Structures are given as C-alpha cells and as structure tokens.
Amino acid sequence: MAPDFWQDSAAAQETMRQLTRLRRQVAIWEKIGDQLADAQELAALGDDSLYEELAHEVEALTKTVHELEFRALFSGPYDDEPAILAIHAGAGGTEAQDWAQMLQRMIIRWAESRGFKVEILDQSPGDEAGIKSTLMSIEGDYAYGWLKSERGVHRLVRISPYDASSRRHTSFAKVEAWPDVAEEIEIEIDEKDLNIDRFRASGAGGQHVQKNETAVRITHLPTGIVVSCQNQRSLTQNLEVAMKILKSRLFDLERRKQEAEMTALKGEDVNAEWGNQIRSYVLHPYKMVKDHRTDHETGNTQAVLDGRLDDFMEAYLRQRVGQPV
C-alpha cells in the first residue's frame, strides 16, 4: 500500500514474486489446518458410521504430509528459482548429437508434465541429425531444485540407427543447470571484458529467414564463458537475454568455486563432472537406466526417455541430505 511502491518497477515485481511464493507456502499449511480440524471433529463424534469418511481424511492428511516432507529436500538457497539448462553433445558426431536431442526431449517432457514453462533461448542444430547444443529457460515451482539433479554427463549405449553395420555405440552428452537469479543479484561486468558478436539468426528458410543480424554471442574473456541467444525478436532483446544468462552463469561459477573450496577444506575429493557420467541409459544388449550416484535404476527405459524422471531426482535429493534413497 506504500504510495511509492511501484516507482521502482523491478523491485516491485520481485517483491510480488516473493509474495506469490510465500502465499503458496502459507496456503499449504492452511489446508493442513483445515484437514486436521475436519478429522478431529469427525473423530470426536464417535460415530462408527463415519469411520470411512474419517479414514479418507486421514489418508488425505498423510499424502499432504508426505508432500511437505519431500519439499523439505529443497533446502538449497536457490532451489525455488527458475532454471537455465544447457545440453552439449559430446564426441561422436551424429550419434552424440542425436543423443543430445533425446535428452532435450526427455527434459522438456518432464517439465511439461509438471506444468512448467519451457523456452528455448538458443540452439545449434547437428550436422545431419540432432543438436550440437541447446540453451533453455525453465520456470516452475522449485525448477532449479529439481533440475540440479541432472547436472553432469549422461551416457547412452544402443545400436546406432546411423550405423549401416548396426553396431553398438556409446555416446555422451553433458547437461549444465544453474539458477536464474540474474534479476536478484548485483554483478559488475566490465565492458572491456566482453567480446560481442552479432550474426543472423538461423531459421527454417523461406519468408521467415532472418535478413538482419539479430542474434548475439557474448564471450566473457576472463572466464571464457560463451553465451548466445537468437530466439528473441530483436537484437536488443537477444542482447538483454544473453547478458542475463551471463550474469547467472558468473554467479553460479563463483558459488560453485566456494563450494569446492569448502569441500576441499573438509578433506573430500572434488571430481570433475565431464568424463564422469552421472547416469547410464542402456538400450542394448539389455534395457536399463541407472544413476551412478544413488544406484537407483529401472528397466523401463522408454518411460524415462519420455520424461519420467521424478524417481531419479528424488533419489538424488534424498542422498544429498543423507536420507535413504
């Protein structure tokens, strides 16, 4: 109600986003309070004919409590933020690029099944099939909290559809994820540290082919981080999105450096992600998806590739807080 609340539009919008998140959290506890009151009233009546209704109330309460218990796994400071996710094909040419696109489809299907908003910010198509890389924005409740479980190298073993001799191939693709916190942090970026390239956005051709240089690629010289964006309508919009992603990546880089330093102080080994697959997807000679961090596995490979990732994500989250997987 402050008269000057909307004078700073960016700060006001962030406050409203926080308010929306808090309202959702409060609503859950208010719902539990109502359910508890209803159950207590039914139990106090002592009427055996109401037993079935009381059992239904207890079942609903139990389900809600389990949901809250799971929410407690999202204990990271940025778990409730939107996520920026990138996928890069590893060595292996067309086979690896096809695998990168399969991973993209898997994650998009998982996100859409939860009602999350997915936007492809940048994408590099493969030479013959698949994609070389992709950059996506994913918005939804605890998007980063969920998707941080997918960071690392994913390994695929299958009979390659691109091999005329039908031989078995092993392919790798790397997934990166970081919280989208660019609007909430202050990071000073010196323009002298940036190399900005402009180029024509790739399209399907015909009347929709881009005739102007609206796509942007930014290289942060001190760190070597490269960010590109081409899916917005104008050069200015693409530049704004690319700078936002760069800020988030620089913030995440610094945060993970601090985490690595703390881990080293504790006397634990810090393993590089690339070259250490977090999960294997085997389609031949047998079918199995196995997460090497938690040992969680399933033989229903098609369901996983269609986006059924919750069990793997939950196993990872529970391990992170020392709970049984």
- Which architecture does CATH list for 191-265? 2-Layer Sandwich (3.30)
By the 8 A CB rule, do 201 and 230 touch?
Answer: yes
Residue 41's pLDDT is what?
A: 86
Break the chain down into helix, strand, coil percent, rounded to 5.
45, 25, 30
Peptide bond before residue 285 is cis, with ω within 30 degrees of 0: yes
Residue 322's pLDDT is what?
A: 60
By the 8 A CB rule, do 74 and 139 touch?
Answer: no
Q: How far is CA 110 from CA 81, 105, 312, in A?
A: 17, 9, 12
First to last CA, the chain: 47
Distance (Å, whole) CA 134 – CA 152 = 15
CATH topology of domain 83-180+278-320: Alpha-Beta Plaits (3.30.70)
Q: Show the low-confidence residues of the chain (pLDDT under 50).
A: 204-211, 266, 268-273, 324-325
Strands, E assignment, the chain: 83-89, 117-125, 131-139, 152-159, 168-179, 194-199, 215-220, 225-229, 277-282, 288-291, 297-298
By the 8 A CB rule, do 205 and 221 touch?
Answer: no
Q: How far is CA 280 from CA 115, 148, 250, 284, 299, in A?
A: 27, 17, 29, 12, 12
Place of tokens 């778990």: 79
By the 8 A CB rule, do 134 and 118 touch?
Answer: no
Domain boundaries of the chain, sorted by first residue = 7-71, 83-180+278-320, 191-265
Residue 184's pLDDT is what?
A: 63
Strand partners, 3: none
Of 151, 140, 126, 175, residue with least CA distance to 259: 151
**What tokens appear for 325 in the block?**
């997987």
180 contact partners, CB below 8 Å, separation of at least 6: 81, 82, 83, 84, 137, 139, 144, 244, 248
